Amino acid sequence: MADVQFTDVRKSFGAFPVIKGVDIEIADGEFVILVGPSGCGKSTLLRMLAGLENISGGEISIGGKVVNTLPPKERDIAMVFQNYALYPHMTVEQNMAFSLMLNKAPKEEADKRVKYAAGILGLDKLLERYPRQLSGGQRQRVAMGRAIVRDPKVFLFDEPLSNLDAKLRVAMRAEIKELHQRLKTTTVYVTHDQIEAMTMADKIVVMHDGVVEQIGSPLELYDRPANLFVAGFIGSPSMNMIKGKLDPQDRNRFIATDGTVLPVANAPAEAVGCDLVYGLRPEYITLDAGGMPVEIVVIEPTGYETHLIVRLGGSDANCVFRERINARPGETLNVSIDAAHVHLFDVETGRRLT
């Protein structure tokens, strides 16, 4: 079993705390993605798991064994870095076999493992090449191959796709996910890209400023964000956020700061009287000839769908329609809001109330 546990893990650089008490449970075989904005501490957490950074407090365990002071090579993990870290003077085959040679694996066994990994990753025909003779995507595959040959208990990935162009990134996302489905090795993956997290992870850990904001499946985070930070971070285009308060006479009416009345369902009594943010995902705004008029600010046809920014409740709001719309900025559209999917957040605490 190679489950991974972080228990009240802390890290300071000098007097500066960057990880402030993190608890994460990762089940055997799970694909977990740590996501958050730059500087939130996700790479530091991964490096502590790898043994590349010491731990200031708390406990990290792999397969039930506390590894806090265990050197990296005794942790039975393999890490794929952002810059791939390939040896330029070695061929693809030598790069992949290198760690096995260091560990004095028999040549025959090493060959077998390299062939197996090369087969999975489509590198069979490139084994004699040097890194400089490979494309970015191929280098990325060699870096993964090097991790696979070691057959580790846990794979660690630190922003492995950030040096690839957008199209290749999408293709590699699918490859890494497929690889995980095939090998079923526990995987911890760091990215700042929420789309990568949403599309690949079994479970996402959203971090911010050294703390965990929320842990859940991609759709749990999307449908039930715990707070304003997660709501704003997960989803693209992002959730619309409109400030205002509930109508004290009727909890089903939200009154935006500009006086616009917007529909709400299931607002809890505790929300009455609070300063609130009305959170609305773009897809829950739909075209409706009998609905409320909104002014178009920006209109972007993508072919398949149309993305718009409209003025709603005194804010700019994103919406996405699965049709072509023949209109210009300054003109008006009529829309409806699906009140059942509206969230309310308490401005003071950031917490979601419904």
For binding to ligand ATP (CB under 6 A), which residues are involved? 13, 18, 36, 38-44, 192
- Nearest distance in Å: CB 172, ligand ATP: 18
- Nearest distance in Å: CB 35, ligand ATP: 9
- Nearest distance in Å: CB 77, ligand ATP: 18
- Nearest distance in Å: CB 225, ligand ATP: 19
Question: Closer to ligand ATP at the Cβ: 57 or 314?
Answer: 57
* Distant-in-sequence contacts of 137-143, Cβ < 8 A, 24+ apart: 137/164, 137/168, 137/171, 137/172, 139/84, 139/86, 140/84, 140/164, 140/172, 141/175, 142/84, 142/86, 142/92, 142/95, 142/96, 143/80, 143/81, 143/84, 143/85, 143/86
Cα separation, 17 vs 39, in Å, equals 12
Question: Closer to ligand ATP at the Cβ: 192 or 352?
Answer: 192
Cα separation, 253 vs 263, in Å, equals 5
| ∠ CA 45-157-162, rounded to 5° | 105
- Nearest distance in Å: CB 82, ligand ATP: 9
Strand 186-191 with 31-35, pairing: parallel
Q: Residues with Cβ < 8 Å from 21, sequence gap 6 or more?
A: 8, 9, 10, 57, 58, 211
Question: Closer to ligand ATP at the Cβ: 38 or 326?
Answer: 38
Residue with the closest Cβ to ligand ATP? 43
Question: Closer to ligand ATP at the Cβ: 41 or 313?
Answer: 41
- Nearest distance in Å: CB 248, ligand ATP: 42
Question: Closer to ligand ATP at the Cβ: 190 or 246?
Answer: 190
Question: Closer to ligand ATP at the Cβ: 234 or 337?
Answer: 234
Q: Residues with Cβ < 8 Å from 184, sequence gap 6 or more?
A: 29
